[in-house]
Structure 1
């Protein structure tokens, strides 16, 4: 029961800090070094610090017990609609590990007490004050200073059993109905809506293409350049204010502060036997203090989305 009390109380601490960061949005960033790395240290320290000595008697227990607090915090914030599940799932590995480091700090602090009475090993008022005030002060100082924009390009390709002219016809049709996905995609697991239809008013420079997705999500694109049956380049005009609030987490909304797709380019290359190599390259940017980590998720998610688009074109061309 005491273990559950420690986990719940530490999770409440994490929830309060998250709400305060959200309330001061613009002054403090959720996508910050302070919140993603330092707040979980406080969560882990509080988890182990509130436990009786026998409850976390080894470094292994001190490291992994805060993972339960992190999981509990994940569930609570998602149920209360404080945080989106997709964003949490990407952040959770880092959050849990650094919460474990916080647990190890509490374990080390307790060990240095030379096995004094358990009550004297509980977090003091000074420790608790630092746990609450420290992240808020550091978050205010950090603000948006640590955000670093970085452009990336991801490309995927398939071989279509039809000549470039046939593939081009499917690519530039006035209205295209997307084929249902064959299986559960990674993007789908993270809540990205399924592609429904695409419309193109005209295949010329300045032409408008609109891709519609489930839940009211859509993206407007402008034809930047084209070479019939060879290449089509589209400039993506993402409008984050047009994205329904329930569709995408605010921290990973396309066109928002931290993520934006800039351009899609289709390349058609004729192959022997009347086939075509169809390549789709997407240029986008990420803007976080930890692009090294965000880039990993961006690569897999964007690659999954591009694979879905290419598979749809491949299937439609084969059926035509």
Structure 2
């Protein structure tokens, strides 16, 4: 029997901290500003659609078609969420607010390259934000419950192009609306009537706080009623060399004056208004306006009635915008006539 010590069996050493760390997966390296890239790609996708939708009003691929107004921001939101989900899982809140930022970037981009004007951009941003969120939520749902987000995204992106080619063949809806406002003026009807039919040298400070003028609509400069061979015509001048006629259709001295609008090809010089909101154009028109004077104790009650037409696939939205802007305009123009009439009456 050997008395030499037997060799000890090798034993595994406990893992050291270093070896445990080596067993871990290496950290994922992300691109700089990874949070921003999904927003930028979503905005770029909508921008490409805007380039495609450069058709003339009423024709194929016009930017005022419902297929663009509804689906371009939805595609923007869907692309944003898809790109973000490829990086990591996002929450439902992200599906809502990220498309807002992406559509805002898209609108800013169209302004920077002069594809859109300021009036259209400001008016359409709320609509785009809403549709962008719907697109983001839809894509977020697809990413969570299916294994085919990419085919869904491709289908989403092609849909506006398909509809943009066939939509102009369908009848265009038309909606007629009107608004009324009233103000009391501490001046006789004769003074108010004179101001209505012979107003000159309108200063921006007198009307400039109306929302229509804040977003870029040219401000009025003068409006004078003249006797012409065709009857009474109110000649109107705005800033940026805008001019048009108001053909008087009802003339009751000291009581009521009503007119319809007449626009000529040179009424709105290039750049004076956005093409999509051109007054008298394919999508929007002013029909008629009227002022009614009613004698009251100590002065005159002046009422304005304005009628307009909108012809879009999103009249439910466009008409509400028109109601807000024209209602606000009516209040400010009545205030203008009130200040002018009371000032001249006091001076007399």
Decide: shared fold, TM above 0.5: yes
CA contact (8 A) 1:181 1:308 kept: no
Alignment of 1:11-26 (within 5 A): 11-23=43-55, 26=59
Task: Tell me the equivalent position of 1:100.
Answer: 133
Q: Deviation string for 1:244-282 (max 9, x for gaps)?
A: 221211111111111111111110000112x10011111
Check whether the contact 1:239–1:255 (CA below 8 A) recurs between aligned residues: no
The 5 A counterparts of 1:167-182 are 167-173=192-198, 176-182=200-206
Residues 145-164 of structure 1 aligned to structure 2 (within 5 Å):
145=170, 147-164=172-189
Report how far residue 238 of structure 1 moved: 2.6
The equivalent of 2:3 in structure 1 is: none
Q: Kindly tell me: are residues 144 and 237 of structure 1, through their superposed partners in 2, closer, same or farther at Cα, counting changes over 3 Å?
A: farther
Which segment is superposed worse, 263-272 or 5-14? 5-14
Between the aligned partners of 2:176 and 2:297, the Cα distance in structure 1 is: 35
Q: Distance in 1 between matches of 2:330 and 2:228?
A: 21
Equivalent residues of 2:188, 2:300 under 8 A apart: yes
Give runs of aligned pairs for residues 69-218 of structure 1, distance below 5 A: 69-113=102-146, 124=150, 126-127=151-152, 129-143=154-168, 145=170, 147-173=172-198, 176-182=200-206, 184-202=209-227, 206-218=231-243
Once superposed, what is the RMSD of the aligned Cα atoms? Answer: 2.2
Q: Secondary structure of 2:342's match? A: helix
Change (3 A) 1:258 1:113: closer
Partner residue, 2:81 = 48
Classify 1:204/1:154 alpha carbon distance in 2 versus 1 (closer, same or farther; 3 Å).
Answer: farther
How far apart, in 2, do the equivalents of 1:166 and 1:147 lie? 44
- Tell me how far apart the structure 2 counterparts of residues 315 and 215 of structure 1 sit (CA, whole Å): 25
Whole-angstrom CA distance in 1 between matches of 2:229 and 2:322: 31
Is residue 261 from structure 1 mapped to residue 293 from structure 2 by the alignment? no
Q: Which residue of 2 aligns with 1:5?
A: 37
Report the counterpart of residue 314 of structure 2 in structure 1. 290
Q: Which runs of 5+ in 2 are unaligned?
A: 1-32
Larger radius of gyration: 2
Counterpart for residue 250 of structure 1: 275
Residue 96 of structure 2: which of 63, 69, 85 is its match?
63
Supply the distance in 2 between the matched residues of 1:172 and 1:47 (Cα, whole angstroms).
Answer: 54
Tell me: CA distance 1:312–1:80, structure 2 relative to 1, closer, same or farther (3 Å).
Answer: same
Unaligned runs of at least 5 residues, structure 1: 115-120
Judged with a 3 Å threshold, the aligned counterparts in structure 2 of structure 1 residues 290 and 304 are, in CA distance, closer, same or farther, namely same
Aligned length: 310
